[in-house]
Structure 1
Amino acid sequence: MNDSKIINDPIFGFIKIPHGLLLNIVEHPLMQRLTRIKQLGLTLMVYPSAQHTRFQHSLGAFHLMSEAITSLTQKGIFIFDSEAEAVEAAILMHDIGHGPFSHVLEHTLINGICHEEISLLMMEQINREMNGELNLALKIFKNEYPKRFLHQLISSQLDMDRLDYLRRDSFYTGVTEGNIGSARIIKMLDVHNDSLVVNSKGIYTIENYLMARRLMYWQVYLHKTTVSSEKMLVNALMRAKQLAHNGKDIFATPSLKYFLYNDIDAETFKKDEDAQRHYAILDDNDIISSIKVWTENDDKVLSILASDIINRKIFKVEIYNEPISDNYIKSKKHQIADKLCISEDEANFLISVDTVQKDMYDIHDDHITILFKDNITKDISESSEVLNIALLSKKIRKYYLCYQRF
């Protein structure tokens, strides 16, 4: 009898999922929902091949976790089989609470709750269904387990989540400069004083990883077309929600309709089984199906936004290094209102101002520790010849103005 299921992955080849707890998680409906949620949301407006799913990413992160456990065990780091299975279960489910189109929904249709909290709620639900088999996985996920390095494998500067999504997103977007040496990084990982460290032989690989990550953020995740596409989607959902609140009948799939017609905050979401049930049904298809119908809506603003998204008529984007003046924003808004014969309040939905900031590396927040001979440790910023702390910690801030094209 075969004791594992094999899935063929274009990045890592064959991924083995053992029968039992781990396969039960993979086959759970909440996990299968991730097959219907794209990993990069509207990034496909820039990179049409970026069609991979959160499910594929979760499997990849699980595979890397298995590799990391094997590598650390070979170095004499003692990890029980139960701990290995638990940390693998935790990384499998780390994204389970993601909504459609990445982070767009969690700030638009639900207020005050992030996908990490929803992931935890869903993991606790699966744990109840599995009679507590995930107790240890939840402890590690919440960083409540004595072996802290196990949590770092799930969430840190060098976690398996990042190692997979950088490789995978680089592959599917075709941005080859973002490719990282994940196998080499995993081979260089070690544990020192219950903390994840990197052997000094791996410094160059880590330098490449940090540079690749910076490039992926500005060239893919924060690409101006991705940012403006997300703004259009957020504004379309906000307009639909406003119309729903004003008593207008807005077409939407039942679960999307629930969030359009009800104000759901964190407290309500955590207590209300209806809210959780509808959220667990939502995926990319609900949003796209509804938006396709909105292109014909008799509300001018909603139909413009919906048509823009469906037909890839992206908001024009202007990027500045300094804050954009209120007068300039007002003049743009006035132009839009005049051109479309709509009110300035309505024109608000066809313009968006945003500040985008990304630190390449924050030594105070989370750091990468390099392990040298004689058990001496130093931060990467002190160990690298090419990445000085000033360069690494430089905060890059850009100001985006997105608005309707004519």
Structure 2
Amino acid sequence: MRNLNLQIIRKAVLILCSLFFVLSSQSQELETLINEALANSPEIQKFDLKYKIASEKVNEVNSLPNTEFNLGVMAVKPEMDMPMERFRVSVMQMLPWFGTITARENYVSSVADAQYVKIIIAKRNLMASVSEVYYNLYANKAKQKVLTNHVQLLKTYETLALTAVEIGKASAVDVLRLQIRQNELRQLKDELRQQFLAVQTNLNKLLNRKHTVAITVVDSLIMPSEDFETPSENLAWHPELLRYDKLYQSVEQSELLNQKEMAPMVGIGVEYISQENSPMITSAYKDMVMPMLSVSIPIFNKKYRSQSKQNELKQQEISTQKQERLNTLETHLAKAIRERIAARLSHETLIKNLQHAQNAEAMLLKSYETGTIDFKDILDIQELTLKFQIKQIEAVKAYYVQTTVINYLTQ
């Protein structure tokens, strides 16, 4: 059963890896980055080593207590007529009660299972972190592209303004306004470049490689027309909750072990006594061999009763912790679903507003043919258009980031 549970957990990781990429046909770069992060992450390697250590403890507990050897030699021989003992040798092996070693193995294995779930949780967290940082890089790059297009458009308007100034249809102030706006957009773009490098460093560190390695992101992400179905019932099988189940099982195994350790320990051995030759010994065998049997009984077993009480309280604590964490995950899931819907609705509204702004801009440019143009209005419309485009990018990023959160919680 334990091996089956571990296989299910491993399969869940593979499914989660694939589901992170279902939203975009251009996600090969993100998939590659996540695979590299999973392979190189020191945190994953740390948890993996802890799991191996916990698993190795099975061999540690699968052993008997130390075998006792005793040797006694007569140092001073008294003058007696009876036969004297020269030395004696004994060996004794204590044996735990039936099933105790198996109970120890089951307890250690259950602890290892709980440790393995930590690996799954760490992998999920890492995948979500890489995805979120990747989408931040996408948004940054998309904003830079938008700013570049607006600067180029303002240069075109500047040319129109210079022409209008020459023929007396515009003032030099309009030209200066356009130039100031270009400088502001260039400054914003420079700031975005610096932010991109900082976020890129963050992603490279998640991949455990040099911070200067260049990362490429997709040129565009498509906003789906409708939301994907969210299987909220899968939340009950989340690894963060499964870990509490494994901890609960480990306490159960601890109590079974505690009950076994309350039973007596049996010792078997043999003692050999070598004697000197003596006329008093008429038998052909002067030496003696004596089988031995000992029993260790925990008469004062207060500590075992206390351990049982502690295990009972631990199980209650784990149950309440699991319920608390389930409530928190349900809250996070509801928030992510709500914010993803809000991002898609915002994107739809921004498309309409952007179309209106572009129509207004086209009308202003049309008026240039009639000999009148208000470059202040052009700047206002262009600033409004830029605002809508930036919000559009943020809406797309928010949709994918919240989808990452939903996948982390439900897949």
TM-score (norm 1): 0.23
Higher relative contact order (CA 8 A, sep 6+): 2
Give the structure-2-normalised TM-score. Answer: 0.22
